[in-house]
Amino acid sequence: MDNGLLDPLLAQGIARIKGIKRAGVRIGNWLTKAQAEQLLNAPDAATLKGNSDRALLAACVAPRFRR
Instruction: Report if residue 8 sits inside a domain.
Output: no
Range of the structural domain that residue 58 is part of: 31-67
Instruction: Report if residue 35 sits inside a domain.
Output: yes
Q: What is the pLDDT of residues 12-51, one digit of tens each?
A: 887 777 776 666 676 777 888 888 899 999 999 999 999 9
The model's confidence at residue 54, banded by pLDDT at 50, 70 and 90, is very high
Instruction: Report if residue 67 sits inside a domain.
Output: yes
Instruction: Report if residue 59 sits inside a domain.
Output: yes
Instruction: Report if residue 50 sits inside a domain.
Output: yes
> Does the structure show a pLDDT above 60 at 58?
yes
Section 42-65 average pLDDT: 88
The number of folded domains in the chain is: 1
What b/e sequence results for 27-45 when a residue is b if at least 16 CB atoms lie within 10 Å of its CB, and e otherwise?
A: eeeeeeeeebeeebeebee
> Does the structure show a pLDDT above 90 at 11?
no
Instruction: Report if residue 63 sits inside a domain.
Output: yes
- Can you say whether the dihedral through the CA atoms of 32, 38, 39, 40 is positive or negative? positive
> Does the structure show a pLDDT above 90 at 2?
no
Instruction: Report if residue 17 sits inside a domain.
Output: no
